[in-house]
């Protein structure tokens, strides 16, 4: 784990760790020296041998949550080093920069809440905060890579325009079937003489925190019109964010208001070209995006199909699908508008419930490291990892530096 991190291209080239640079790691001779010492003396505690900044740079090269858990389980001093330097939080920020808006973290339904409050006088408030953040971000990082990908739309909120409401409502886009009963299922915009006029569709996702991987859109083909025209858009763009208030925004009505001013957008994608084809077209984001607030806006750019009977351009969508990783009920947010900052809430009971439902062999994601390289470090790093939550069981309050077992 440590050896692989040190010998990785990212660490050697000094990229992607702290503000994109690791000046201290530019010297290949220093890296080779550390690797040699670890290989020859696997029981050596290099955190005591290296300067704190160098140790921090080494451990920041780890990009798997499982590895950080293993590091924090080696000994009490290693665990304190991970916690005091916010390594789990920094890992989450590297994975999803949107978390830079977190104003604080809260643990809900924690069985240890009362005990912590009583013992609070013997610990510094700052250390308690760091330990809480470590627990929350450690599990959050694991959730990013281990929670299941599934369909993530909860409801349709509104459209910028609807030609015939409710027969051609945005709600129809949640139905994957082309026909429902005796009617075609699709949403249609109002007609426009200018093909450049865009349209907007807004959806509520299944969770306030969802890691979005891709969005799929199926343009509608009017099989009941001459020539079987397909009313696609020229291109599409996605916005993600949150509602400005807790008021539930209802689905579109007969007017053309799409309630866009009721939302704050924290992410905007690139523009993806759409083809004029009768199929579900998948738009994969360059990197997974953490949608904070659970609102997705689809911006349909440009019109390509003119309707023969009135000479106007329309956009019609048969189906919309979003694939992502919902992080509820373990995680939720409380958003402060208009600052855009939010409090990250971790429901400990929901977290434990999720873990109990995991198969025994999936209680933690195992890092894909080269085990041959790590065999020499086996006495030094505990490999009997079971789960993140068990990291904190059996912790003693004395100052000893014994090995932790997860």
Q: Would you kindly state where each structural domain of the chain is located, as residue ranges?
A: 44-110+123-145, 150-326
The reported pLDDT for the residue numbered 272 is: 98
Average pLDDT over residues 180-198: 96
pLDDT at residue 114 greater than cutoff 90: no
Model-wide pTM > 0.85? no
H or E, element range at 352:
helix 348-356
pLDDT > 90: percent of the chain: 42
Mean pLDDT over each residue of the chain, to the nearest integer: 76
Q: Which residue has the higher pLDDT, 353 or 277?
A: 277
pLDDT at residue 200 greater than cutoff 50: yes
Q: Which residue has the higher pLDDT, 72 or 140?
A: 140
Between the alpha carbon of residue 42 and those of residues 57, 82, 402, the distances in Å are: 19, 20, 17
pLDDT at residue 396 greater than cutoff 60: no
Helices (H), 239-307: none
**pLDDT-wise least confident of 1-15, 84-98, 141-155, 319-333:** 1-15
Sign of CA dihedral 383, 389, 394, 398: positive
CATH number of 150-326: 2.60.120.260
The token pair at 193 is 């003489």
360 contacts: CB under 8 Å, gap ≥ 6 = none
Could you read off the pLDDT of 225-254 as tens digits, one per residue?
999 999 999 999 999 999 887 654 554 444
Going by pLDDT thresholds of 50, 70 and 90, the confidence category of residue 29 is low
The reported pLDDT for the residue numbered 249 is: 53
The token pair at 311 is 């000479």
């Amino acid at each position: 784990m440590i050896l692989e991190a040190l010998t990785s291209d990212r660490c050697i080239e000094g990229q992607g760790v702290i503000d994109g640079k690791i000046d201290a790691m530019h010297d290949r001779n220093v890296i080779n020296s550390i690797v040699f010492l670890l290989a020859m003396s696997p029981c050596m505690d290099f955190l005591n041998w290296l300067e704190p900044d160098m140790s921090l740079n080494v451990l920041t090269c780890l990009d798997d949550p499982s590895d950080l858990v293993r590091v924090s389980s080696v000994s009490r001093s290693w665990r304190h080093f991970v916690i005091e330097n916010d390594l789990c939080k920094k890992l989450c920020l590297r994975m999803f920069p949107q978390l830079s808006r977190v104003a604080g973290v809260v643990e809900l339904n924690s069985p240890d809440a009362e005990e912590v409050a009583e013992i609070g006088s013997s610990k510094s408030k700052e250390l308690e905060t760091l330990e809480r953040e470590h627990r929350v971000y450690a599990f959050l990082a694991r959730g990013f890579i281990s929670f299941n990908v599934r369909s993530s739309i909860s409801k349709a909120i509104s459209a910028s325009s609807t030609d015939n409401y409710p027969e051609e409502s945005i709600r129809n886009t949640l139905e994957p079937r082309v026909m429902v009963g005796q009617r075609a299922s699709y949403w249609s915009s109002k007609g426009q003489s200018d093909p450049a006029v865009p349209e907007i569709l807004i959806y509520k996702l299944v969770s306030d925190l969802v890691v979005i991987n891709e969005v799929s859109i199926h343009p509608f083909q009017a099989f009941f019109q001459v020539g079987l025209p397909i009313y696609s858009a020229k291109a599409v763009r996605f916005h993600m964010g949150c509602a400005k208030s807790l008021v539930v925004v209802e689905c579109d009505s007969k007017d053309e208001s799409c309630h866009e001013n009721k939302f704050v957008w924290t992410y905007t994608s690139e523009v993806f070209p759409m083809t004029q084809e009768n199929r579900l077209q998948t738009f994969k984001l360059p990197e997974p995006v953490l949608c904070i607030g659970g609102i997705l806006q689809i911006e349909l750019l440009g019109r390509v199909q003119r309707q023969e009977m009135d000479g106007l351009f329309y956009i019609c969508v048969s189906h919309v699908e979003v694939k992502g990783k919902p992080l509820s009920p373990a995680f939720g947010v409380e958003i402060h508008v208009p600052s855009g900052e939010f409090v990250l809430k971790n429901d400990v009971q929901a977290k434990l419930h999720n873990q109990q439902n995991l198969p025994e062999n999936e209680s933690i994601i195992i890092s894909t490291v080269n085990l041959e390289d790590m065999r020499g470090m086996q006495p030094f790093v505990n490999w009997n990892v079971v789960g993140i939550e068990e990291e904190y069981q059996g912790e003693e309050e004395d100052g000893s530096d014994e090995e932790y077992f997860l």
